[in-house]
Amino acid sequence: MKKRLWILRTFNVGLFYATLLIGFGSILPGNWIPGSGVLSILFPFLLFPHLIMILIWARFRPKHMLKNLICLAILFFPVMALSPMSGFPAPEQTVWKVASYNVRAFYQQRGITNDIAQWTQTEGIDILCTQEMRRSVANPVADHFPYRVYAPNNKSIGTAIYSKFPIINHGSLVFDAIEENSYAKRSAGYADIALPDDTIRIINIHLSSTGIKDMDMEIEPTREEWIEKGQFMAKKIARSDRDRGKQGRSIVQWVGESPYPVVLTGDFNSVPGGNLYARLLWKLDDPYLFKGSGAWGSYLPLLQKGLPLRIDWTLVDGQLPYSGQYLSDVAFSDHRPLITTFSAPTEPLED
């Protein structure tokens, strides 16, 4: 029995320091140590070992539970941000809805723009923020929204904000820290929208993708192929994580400089829990933490591999009366749309 407890204590110490290392590494900006931001993907997988150890220590050595409880505190926000815990908001509480949707340039299948357009009306979307939006075929969606803006203005594929409320100001946003003049440099825009009760600023972004495709993970059963593909994917992940670290600095600045309450939304190509998420939580709320509901996982290729991860976020100024957030279980793209619901304010918002 003593030998078994010694093995458990040794395992628990290793688990404790691994959790601390991953937690510390994940909050380092990706442009400091490329790849560090990807560590937050591991948070959900650390939860169950700690829960199992707590059950074991509760039976044999309660005093050894402290390390696991500390680790659960570290894991709390990242795991909650991936796990819908609430019921759907009551329809009578919902006054307006914001949806964020990476539409994959409408390439999923023929006529998909009509399906998405119909979905926005059935779902009652008032403000639709899209990423990877191909303007040449977007008319069926745009026709349902009298106000719309695009970023960048002169590109065929980018981000878009569609609104049923008046847009009084808008513009493209540039990630100045990205050196090359690429999509990653200009994949953001904003719109100041006049609601019946106040004006808000919507910031719609699409952060750098890893660029890894399914074919990249088709590894031949030879040692050389494993090494070659592993190095190839590691370089892609590190490069994209470095770019997202640079983009994150601009996002924090834009949120801080906004003259209106902010709704920050988009495809972040990373799960909540890293450096950018932690910095933004000082300024904005994540409705998914305590009011999340609906389907699990926003990126379908990962979901099909058994990884229900949410790489699409919508963060909201705490002044705004949000009532819920959920992933809609539709498959018009390789992402699921993330919908945030808002109720009528109980008191006037501050300027």
Task: Give pLDDT tens digits along the chain (351 positions).
Answer: 667 778 888 999 999 998 988 888 777 776 666 666 677 888 888 999 999 999 998 888 888 899 999 999 989 888 888 888 787 777 777 899 999 999 998 988 888 999 999 999 999 999 999 999 998 899 999 999 999 999 987 678 899 999 999 999 999 999 998 877 778 888 999 999 999 889 999 999 999 876 555 544 455 555 565 555 555 455 656 666 778 888 989 999 999 999 999 999 999 988 888 888 988 999 999 999 989 998 889 999 888 888 888 999 999 999 999 999 999 999 899 999 999 999 987 665 555
Task: Please report, for residues 2, 12, 110, 122, 144, the alpha-carbon distance to residue 119 in angstroms, rounded to integers and kept in the order given.
Answer: 61, 48, 16, 5, 11
Query: Would you state the pLDDT for residue 43?
Result: 85
pTM over 0.75: yes
Query: Would you state the pLDDT for residue 237?
Result: 62
Query: Would you state the pLDDT for residue 123?
Result: 95
The Cα 229–Cα 319 span in angstroms is 47
Query: Would you state the pLDDT for residue 216?
Result: 47
For 142-151, the CB contacts below 8 A with 24+ separation are 143/117, 144/117, 144/120, 147/193, 149/189, 149/191, 150/189, 151/186, 151/187, 151/188, 151/189, 151/190, 151/204
Q: Which domains does the chain have, with CATH numbers?
A: 2-80 (no CATH), 91-342 (3.60.10.10)
Query: Would you state the pLDDT for residue 111?
Result: 87
Place of tokens 């939860």: 47
